[in-house]
Amino acid sequence: MIQFERFQLDNGLKVIVHKDLSTPMAVMDILYDVGARDEDPAKTGFAHLFEHLMFGGSVNIPDYDEPLQVAGGENNAYTTNDLTNYYCQLPAENLETAFWLESDRMLGLAFSEKSLDVQRKVVSEEFKEHYLNKPYGNAWHIIREMAYTRHPYRWMTIGKELRHIEEAQLKDVKDFFFKHYTPANAIMVVSGNVEMDEVIRLSEKWFGDIESGRPYTRNIVQEPEQKEARRQIVKANVPLDAFYKCWHMAGRMDQRYYTADLITDILGGSTSSRLFQSLVKEKKLFSNIECHHFGSTDTGLLAIEGKLVKGVRPETAEAAVEKVLDDLRNVKVNDKELQKVKNKTESMMAFEDMSLMNRANSLAYYELLGDAAMMNTELERYNSVTTENILSESRRIFDDKNSNTLYYLAQ
């Protein structure tokens, strides 16, 4: 059970305080309700590029990192399709330094040409390192474009193409900031060796006078239901044939999300999972195979991907995957197998909650979804999933009309 308290400033900033006196450290986590799904299709990759610019100096402080390091702290940030999260950890005695730094960059950025110029290059190198210069690096670009026809999940957080990043202008940066980086659009979690009164005082002091800004109304076109199977074949300079297939699944707030999450654990994620046992160990068709999903807020994707053993035809591999899915569609899993994946989930959540930083991240995330208290009811939601739920959800997800298949073949 994670204990926390919360309050809200007049400008709309939500603050959550999680006290843990067993540590000498404090964590400040600020989550902005903006991700790649909020981008203009002609300017993709922007939420993530912007995350880099948040370290390029703010209106009163030329450098974010240095003063934090002087205070014995460290920090990082990440951007997903749904959100952008900034977090730092430092000795609790120096907590005010985090308030000073974070409030100043919520107040305003330095908007320097030099910083934009350098970060455009840095992000371009990141794009190359992860998506261009690696075998199969562009597979998910292709699949997202196939699976999403309307929804902005069509592109990855790094962006649709390098050009969008290379062409980013300072004006775009400013517009983006004033649109999304407002107190009303943010959630702050302060955790660790901290006292509620002190957090209230410091929040008022440093964040209290920041203009609340114009509220941002999200207006995203939801993906229409997929009516027929989509397929694509790509040939590239890779050593092995690879198989990818994905299906639309329920969004994060739907109870069916929990069922889908457990289905991915039944299928993949461990050497006792069905796909691995059947296709790697028994039939020897794949050299590795995984099943995962993206945890997306809106309707997401559940995916199976693997590399084929040399000489195996992709059609044969696909038929074998479908055979494993047939079992799920036709026969109820037994109680023991369902209990196994529930136990695994319980344990994984407990291990994650060991870290103060993870607890702060999770509180901010659940607050974004609607209520930080959901962090304490997650396990119940998993435990309420029945073998019937698994059966009906498998039928619903693994419907051929709902599928997107990519053969990524060696030239």
Partner 1 sequence: MMTNKTASLNRKLAPRIKDAIEFDLRLKPYDKFILDNGIEVYAVHAGPEELMQVEWVFYAGNWYEQHNGIATATNHLIKNGTHQKSAFEISEQIDFYGAYLNRNCYNETANITLHTLTKHLSEVLPIVSEIITDSIYPASELDIYKQNMKQRLEVNLKKCDFVANRLIDEYLFGINHPYGKYSSTKTYDELQREALEDFHRHYYLNGKCVIFVAGVLPKDLQQQLNHHFGSLPLNRSALPETEHPVSSAEEKKYRIINDPNGVQGAVRMARPFINRNHPDFPASQVLNAIFGGFFGSRLMNNIREEKGYTYGIHSYFQNYIHGSSWMISTEAGKDVCEETVKEVYHEMNVLRDVPVPEEELLLVKNYLIGTILGDLDGPFHIIGRWKNIILNGLTEEYFYTSVDTIKRVDAKTLQGLANKYLDPGSFYELVVV
Kindly state the smallest distance separating residue 136's Cβ from partner 1, in Å.
Answer: 8
Rg (CA), the chain: 23
User: What three-state secondary structure class fits 211?
Assistant: coil
- Spatial CA neighbour of 322 closest among 341, 299, 300, 304: 304
d(CA 83, CA 367): 12
Q: Where are the alpha helices (DSSP H) in 246-377?
A: 255-267, 274-275, 314-330, 335-352, 356-369
Kindly state the smallest distance separating residue 299's Cβ from partner 1, in Å.
Answer: 29
d(CA 409, CA 136): 10
Task: Give backbone dihedrals phi and psi of 5, rounded to 5 degrees, phi first.
Answer: -130, 165
Q: Considering the complex, state which of residue 383 and residue 392 has its C-beta at the smaller distance from partner 1.
A: 383
CA 238-244-249 angle, to 5 degrees, is: 155
Kindly state the smallest distance separating residue 356's Cβ from partner 1, in Å.
Answer: 7
Kindly state the smallest distance separating residue 253's Cβ from partner 1, in Å.
Answer: 25
Q: Considering the complex, state which of residue 93 and residue 326 has its C-beta at the smaller distance from partner 1.
A: 93
Q: Considering the complex, state which of residue 76 and residue 222 has its C-beta at the smaller distance from partner 1.
A: 76
Kindly state the smallest distance separating residue 135's Cβ from partner 1, in Å.
Answer: 5
For the record, the structure tokens of 298 come out as 């809106």
Q: Considering the complex, state which of residue 94 and residue 232 has its C-beta at the smaller distance from partner 1.
A: 94
Q: Considering the complex, state which of residue 97 and residue 362 has its C-beta at the smaller distance from partner 1.
A: 97
d(CA 362, CA 374): 10
Q: Considering the complex, state which of residue 27 and residue 36 has its C-beta at the smaller distance from partner 1.
A: 27
d(CA 304, CA 178): 39
d(CA 116, CA 120): 6
Q: Considering the complex, state which of residue 227 and residue 336 has its C-beta at the smaller distance from partner 1.
A: 336
d(CA 263, CA 328): 9
d(CA 407, CA 307): 10
Provide the total of helices (H) and of strands (E) in the chain, helices listed first: 15, 11
For the record, the structure tokens of 20 come out as 């843990």
The answer to whether residues 105 and 75 touch, using CB atoms and an 8 Å cutoff, is no
Kindly state the smallest distance separating residue 382's Cβ from partner 1, in Å.
Answer: 12
Kindly state the smallest distance separating residue 99's Cβ from partner 1, in Å.
Answer: 8
Q: Considering the complex, state which of residue 278 and residue 296 has its C-beta at the smaller distance from partner 1.
A: 278
Kindly state the smallest distance separating residue 340's Cβ from partner 1, in Å.
Answer: 5
Strand pairing category for 14-19 and 186-192:
parallel
Kindly state the smallest distance separating residue 303's Cβ from partner 1, in Å.
Answer: 19
Q: Considering the complex, state which of residue 281 and residue 395 has its C-beta at the smaller distance from partner 1.
A: 281
